[in-house]
A and B are shown apart, each in its own frame.
Chain A
Amino acid sequence: MSDLDLLPTEIEEDLRGSVRDLLGDRCDPAAVIAMYDGDRSLVAPLWKALAADLGLAGLLVAEEHGGHGATAREAAVVLEELGRHAAPVPFLTSAVIATSVLESDSVTPAGRELLAALASGERTAALVVPWSTGPGSPVVGRAGTVTSVAGALDADVLLVPVTTTSGLEIRAVAAERATVTPVVSLDMTRQLADVTVPVGEGEVVVADAEGAVRDALELGAALLASEQVGAARWCLDTTLAYVKVRRQFGRVVGGFQAIKHRLADLYTGVESATAAARYAAVAHAVADPDAPVSTAVAQAFCSDLAVLAAEEAVQLHGGIGMTWEHPAHVYLKRAKADQVALGTPGRHRARLATLVDLPGVGG
């Protein structure tokens, strides 16, 4: 692993800069908070700007399918920025997970066409599985309602796993042919929905899809770590800035050693998480054999770290951290939901046990 380059390239930093600028202009924290009261008007224009204008929808899609042919490295940089802004856009669900499903070898011509439409930002898709589904969990396509699906509210195409006699296939179903019921979610910046698709609906886009779904969830989990790092960094930076100016007892509270040590620990944690997330991205970018381990490690570490960072942000802001007006709660909810998303840290540790041959009792 030592020869994998863990530092961002100049091109990646440029990409970060343009994403950050755009989010700084167009992703107002007050509008993000307003999503908790059901106002989703921020999402569509913001996603259009990111997906089409910046071309992020097709970032990971091969050039021959109309994308930019970038790797998980660039996607990780984008996700750090999206995490930093708690941006409510379907990049992870559509531009990472859904496109990854369609990049399978067993994609059908219809699937290839859809991939090009996703790449151009013309359409947006979501994989219809519960958002808590990790790369190790079995995906069974069954009739009825799939609960707690992320990205479905923003998608015009749903990628529905269907179990057939010959295995799992993915069908593309137009969103208007399905019932998509919004769920009041812990994280309203990635609001979930319950999805019901009529039996037999849609066109097959990936035939033998089991591997494709597993890989997509694996890549999603690996890159979620970068989003978590971005959120954690916002929490650290914002808290640092606050304790440098907030005065109590005639001093800035950041001058108390109890606070200094806490933030030094948090900084150490965020730096570590950055390395773990970066390694996962880089390993996936070059399809390194260590990629599954890198995902499990990144998720086992970054999920909890992001929650810790958000909890510290709330705590060290005192009463203000408990208010609706201050955005800290948006990050707390995002971090807590991300901890469960794509497999809990406990599930990832269990996967790790198998991957690195540390069997549990009786194993």
Chain B
Amino acid sequence: MSIEGLRALVADFLAGHDPRTTDRLEFLRARYDAGLAWVAYPQGHGGRGLPQAMQPEVDRLFAEAGAPDNRPGTNGIGLGMAAPTILSYGTEEQKDRFLRPLWTGEEIWCQLFSEPGAGSDLANVSTRAVRDGDGWVVNGQKVWTSGAHNARYAILVARTDPDQPKHFGLTYFLCDMTDPGVDVRPLRQITGEAEFNEVFLTDVRIPDSQRLGAEGEGWKVANATLNNERVSIGRSAERESGMIGVVARTWREHPEKRTSELHDRLLRLWAEAEVFRMTGARLRQKLAQGQPGPEGSAMKLAFARIAQQLSGLELEILGEDGLRYESDRGWSMVRPETVDFTGRDAGYRYLRAKGNSIEGGTSEILRNVVAERVLGLPGEHRVDKTLPWKEIPR
């Protein structure tokens, strides 16, 4: 389909669903059903199998018409990670059940991967899922779970066979966060907020119909999720979007704070942010519609570095003003509904950006991924790959 054809479809849809008079949810559901939600998704699941590159134009047309959006900031994990994984590995029933309310934002998702003993080494998770009739019973502890306090569902990796080597005994589930065995406790972050949580799972029941992928295939499915996470972080279409936009604005608004040294550093980072944007565009074209592979890791590495350098520079530009952390809510403990890397004030941005090189795989792990999976360099000496999981010393 041409972009003109797509524009006509949106116009048709808008003619039939006046955004000013249609109920918000009804509007979003209808947009999904019309295949105008995520246009790269297949027919019947909110899309039309079109190139991903057409998405920004569709979003722009809807925004221009004053249409409600699906509040993507509240459901980053759902949209960026759960959805593409369900699309790749889900049964038709699972896609039918989960994708639509996910896209409309009726159901928010979180990611129950990391554990106290399994962060970088995700394949080491010890949360156990044991078969019980037509379902599973899950016990264990997860940690750093962003947005668990808002989530209706979670993507979950659990160990189903401790006798297998670590990568082969894992299974991937879709977990109902309203199950009585799910206990979500806030974990406060260096910004003062509790964006992430500890999640204790006690005899949580998951029907087998909510297993995603085959039993024992959890590592493969989880990698699909992680690869999607890494390309979805920091995707920026517009020049000066993201952190560079914020810092450029600060610069323009404060002529009194300018020095040639700061100017030089800002311009270096501006150029890097622009190169990052082009690299992202090029990578997306290269991948076309296929599933992202480990190449996205290099993008996420660059994203974290640039965001951190820019937000650090911003505080130096602001000087005295950067010493103040008073806008909005200060250090008070809140449980936010959205994650916004570029929101609030410069101090918040600086601190929050520190998470960018930890969440979704640390920068060290991503360098290993690039070195080993993209460049084919040999891995480090490891003792834990071939032993049955339960025999690994910890």
* Interface set of A (CB-CB < 8 Å, partner B): 36-37, 130-132, 147-148, 183-188, 192, 247-251, 253, 256-259, 307, 311, 314-315, 318-319, 321-325, 328-329, 332-333, 336-337, 339-341, 344-347, 349-350, 360-361
Q: Please indicate the chain B residues that have their CB under 8 angstroms from the CB of A318 in the complex.
A: 119-120, 358, 362
Q: Please indicate the chain A residues that have their CB under 8 angstroms from the CB of B355 in the complex.
A: 322
In the complex formed, the residue of A with least CB distance to B324 is A183
A sample of 29 cross-chain residue pairs with beta-carbon separation below 8 angstroms, ordered by A number, consists of: A132-B320, A132-B323, A148-B324, A184-B325, A185-B326, A188-B331, A248-B119, A249-B124, A250-B393, A251-B383, A256-B364, A256-B380, A314-B190, A315-B357, A319-B196, A321-B358, A322-B358, A323-B188, A324-B188, A324-B189, A325-B188, A336-B315, A337-B323, A344-B316, A344-B319, A346-B259, A349-B261, A350-B259, A350-B261
Q: Please indicate the chain A residues that have their CB under 8 angstroms from the CB of B368 in the complex.
A: 258
Bound-state Cα–Cα, A192 to B325, Å: 10
In the assembled complex, the CB of B238 is this many whole angstroms from the nearest CB of chain A, namely 28
Q: Knowing A315-B363, A340-B316, say if A36 contacts B192 (CB, 8 Å).
A: yes
Question: CB of B97 within 8 A of chain A?
Answer: no
Q: Please indicate the chain A residues that have their CB under 8 angstroms from the CB of B382 in the complex.
A: 249-251
Bound-state Cα–Cα, A341 to B319, Å: 8
Interface hits, B290-336 → A, CB 8 Å: 308, 312, 315-316, 319-320, 322-326, 330-331, 333
Q: Knowing A248-B119, A314-B190, say if A186 contacts B322 (CB, 8 Å).
A: yes
Q: Which 9 A-B pairs have the closest CB atoms?
A: A250-B384, A324-B188, A329-B190, A184-B326, A248-B121, A132-B320, A346-B261, A184-B330, A319-B144
Q: Find out whether the CB atom of B319 lies under 8 angstroms from the CB atom of A340.
A: yes
In the assembled complex, the CB of A342 is this many whole angstroms from the nearest CB of chain B, namely 11
Bound-state Cα–Cα, A276 to B216, Å: 56
Q: Please indicate the chain B residues that have their CB under 8 angstroms from the CB of A192 in the complex.
A: 323-324
Q: Find out whether the CB atom of A187 lies under 8 angstroms from the CB atom of B393.
A: no
Given contacts A336-B315, A336-B350, A346-B261, 8 further A-B contacts (CB under 8 A): A148-B324, A259-B364, A315-B357, A318-B119, A322-B355, A332-B190, A333-B351, A346-B316
In the complex formed, the residue of A with least CB distance to B357 is A315
Q: Knowing A132-B323, A251-B383, A311-B354, say if A184 contacts B259 (CB, 8 Å).
A: no
User: Of residues B119, B325, B392, which shows the largest number of chain A Cβ atoms within 10 Å of its Cβ?
Assistant: B325
Interface hits, B141-194 → A, CB 8 Å: 143-144, 187-190, 192
Interface hits, B251-309 → A, CB 8 Å: 259-262, 308
In the assembled complex, the CB of A338 is this many whole angstroms from the nearest CB of chain B, namely 10
Bound-state Cα–Cα, A44 to B174, Å: 53
Question: CB of B227 within 8 A of chain A?
Answer: no
Q: Find out whether the CB atom of A319 lies under 8 angstroms from the CB atom of B119.
A: yes
Bound-state Cα–Cα, A346 to B357, Å: 26
Question: CB of B347 within 8 A of chain A?
Answer: yes
Q: Find out whether the CB atom of B312 lies under 8 angstroms from the CB atom of A336.
A: yes
Q: Find out whether the CB atom of B312 lies under 8 angstroms from the CB atom of A307.
A: yes
In the complex formed, the residue of B with least CB distance to A330 is B190
User: Of residues B192, B323, B357, which shows the largest number of chain A Cβ atoms within 10 Å of its Cβ?
Assistant: B323
Bound-state Cα–Cα, A328 to B358, Å: 15
In the assembled complex, the CB of B341 is this many whole angstroms from the nearest CB of chain A, namely 13
Q: Find out whether the CB atom of B331 lies under 8 angstroms from the CB atom of A36.
A: yes
Bound-state Cα–Cα, A185 to B330, Å: 8
Size band of the interface chain B makes with A? 35 or more
Q: Find out whether the CB atom of A315 lies under 8 angstroms from the CB atom of B324.
A: no
Q: Please indicate the chain A residues that have their CB under 8 angstroms from the CB of B190 in the complex.
A: 314, 322-324, 328-329, 332
Q: Please indicate the chain A residues that have their CB under 8 angstroms from the CB of B114 in the complex.
A: 319
Question: CB of B367 within 8 A of chain A?
Answer: yes
Q: Knowing A248-B120, A253-B120, say if A319 contacts B323 (CB, 8 Å).
A: no
Q: Please indicate the chain B residues that have their CB under 8 angstroms from the CB of A253 in the complex.
A: 120
Which one of B118, B308, B320, B367 lies within 8 Å of A130 (CB-CB)?
B320
Which one of A251, A323, A328, A346 lies within 8 Å of B262 (CB-CB)?
A346
Bound-state Cα–Cα, A229 to B382, Å: 37
Q: Please indicate the chain B residues that have their CB under 8 angstroms from the CB of A249 in the complex.
A: 120-121, 124, 380, 382, 384
Bound-state Cα–Cα, A346 to B261, Å: 7
In the complex formed, the residue of A with least CB distance to B352 is A322
Bound-state Cα–Cα, A344 to B187, Å: 34
Interface string of B112-126 (1 = CB under 8 A from A): 001001111100100
Bound-state Cα–Cα, A361 to B323, Å: 31
Bound-state Cα–Cα, A361 to B363, Å: 38
Q: Find out whether the CB atom of B351 lies under 8 angstroms from the CB atom of A332.
A: yes
Bound-state Cα–Cα, A88 to B192, Å: 19
In the complex formed, the residue of B with least CB distance to A257 is B380
Q: Find out whether the CB atom of A340 lies under 8 angstroms from the CB atom of B323.
A: yes
Q: Please indicate the chain A residues that have their CB under 8 angstroms from the CB of B362 in the complex.
A: 315, 318
Bound-state Cα–Cα, A329 to B319, Å: 20
Q: Find out whether the CB atom of B320 lies under 8 angstroms from the CB atom of A322.
A: no
Bound-state Cα–Cα, A247 to B323, Å: 37
In the complex formed, the residue of A with least CB distance to B367 is A258
Bound-state Cα–Cα, A253 to B119, Å: 12
In the complex formed, the residue of B with least CB distance to A256 is B380
In the assembled complex, the CB of A308 is this many whole angstroms from the nearest CB of chain B, namely 10
Q: Please indicate the chain B residues that have their CB under 8 angstroms from the CB of A319 in the complex.
A: 114, 119, 143-144, 196, 358
Q: Find out whether the CB atom of A147 lies under 8 angstroms from the CB atom of B320.
A: yes
In the assembled complex, the CB of A328 is this many whole angstroms from the nearest CB of chain B, namely 8
Q: Please indicate the chain B residues that have their CB under 8 angstroms from the CB of A247 in the complex.
A: 117, 394
In the complex formed, the residue of B with least CB distance to A190 is B323
Q: Find out whether the CB atom of A315 lies under 8 angstroms from the CB atom of B354.
A: yes
Q: Please indicate the chain B residues that have their CB under 8 angstroms from the CB of A325 in the complex.
A: 188
Q: Find out whether the CB atom of B364 lies under 8 angstroms from the CB atom of A250.
A: no
In the assembled complex, the CB of B320 is this many whole angstroms from the nearest CB of chain A, namely 4
Q: Find out whether the CB atom of B320 lies under 8 angstroms from the CB atom of A340.
A: yes
Q: Please indicate the chain A residues that have their CB under 8 angstroms from the CB of B120 in the complex.
A: 248-249, 253, 318
In the assembled complex, the CB of B264 is this many whole angstroms from the nearest CB of chain A, namely 10
User: Of residues B118, B308, B316, B393, which shows the largest number of chain A Cβ atoms within 10 Å of its Cβ?
Assistant: B316
Q: Knowing A324-B190, A340-B322, A340-B323, say if A250 contacts B351 (CB, 8 Å).
A: no
Q: Please indicate the chain B residues that have their CB under 8 angstroms from the CB of A349 in the complex.
A: 261
In the assembled complex, the CB of A339 is this many whole angstroms from the nearest CB of chain B, namely 7
In the assembled complex, the CB of B126 is this many whole angstroms from the nearest CB of chain A, namely 13
Bound-state Cα–Cα, A148 to B143, Å: 38
